[in-house]
């Protein structure tokens, strides 16, 4: 089955530093990847959608300069949280869509990254 990995699985950083989270599709080509944020006991909040080779589309209220997304290849997307602050502490989840299946909107999820900003 389609597998998506995320790295790191957890990270602790100091306020003001930047953190990069990687999302990889291991056995399929992900033409579209999604980045979500999940707050405790809440649903997923879509942050942005990225298509390989083009700029990410950010949801309303998500600062594109703070959450930099790069989708440079069909198997890798990165999310960089720049100048992180404690309020950025959250669980970040990526998902990917298999580009070879044209009709489905099914997304395959990574295990998530727990970010704690001190």
Partner 1 sequence: AQRVTQPEKLLSVFKGAPVELKCNYSYSGSPELFWYVQYSRQRLQLLLRHISRESIKGFTADLNKGETSFHLKKPFAQEEDSAMYYCALGGDSNYQLIWGAGTKLIIKP
Residues of this chain that interact with partner 1 (CB under 8 A) are 32, 34, 42-44, 46, 49, 51, 57, 93, 95, 97, 104-112
Q: How far is the CB of 89 from partner 1 (least distance, A)?
A: 19
Could you give the CA distance from residue 94 to residue 35 in angstroms, rounded to a whole number? 5
Q: Measured from the CB of residue 17, what is the shortest distance to partner 1 in angstroms?
A: 27
User: Could you tell me the smallest distance in angstroms from the CB atom of residue 35 to partner 1?
Assistant: 12
User: Residue 5: how many CB atoms within 10 A of its CB?
Assistant: 14
Which residue's CB is nearer to partner 1, number 31 or number 75? 31
* Residue pointed to by tokens 């950025």: 88
Considering the complex, state which of residue 62 and residue 82 has its C-beta at the smaller distance from partner 1: 62
**Bond before 8 cis per omega within 30 degrees:** yes
Contacts of 63 (CB under 8 A, 6+ apart): none
To partner 1, the closest distance from the beta carbon of 97 in angstroms equals 5
Taking the least distance from each CB to partner 1, the nearer of 20 and 112 is 112
């Amino acid at each position: 089955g389609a597998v998506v990995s995320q790295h790191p699985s957890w990270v602790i950083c100091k306020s003001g530093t930047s953190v990069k989270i990687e999302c990889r599709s291991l056995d399929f080509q992900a033409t579209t990847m999604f980045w979500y944020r999940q707050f405790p006991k809440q649903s997923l909040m879509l942050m942005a959608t990225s298509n390989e080779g083009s700029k990410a589309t950010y949801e309303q209220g998500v600062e594109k300069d703070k959450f930099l997304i790069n989708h440079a290849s069909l198997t890798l997307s990165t999310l960089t949280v720049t100048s992180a602050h404690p309020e950025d502490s959250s669980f970040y989840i990526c998902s990917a869509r298999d580009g070879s299946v044209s009709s489905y909107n099914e997304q395959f999820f990574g295990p998530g990254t727990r970010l704690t900003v001190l």
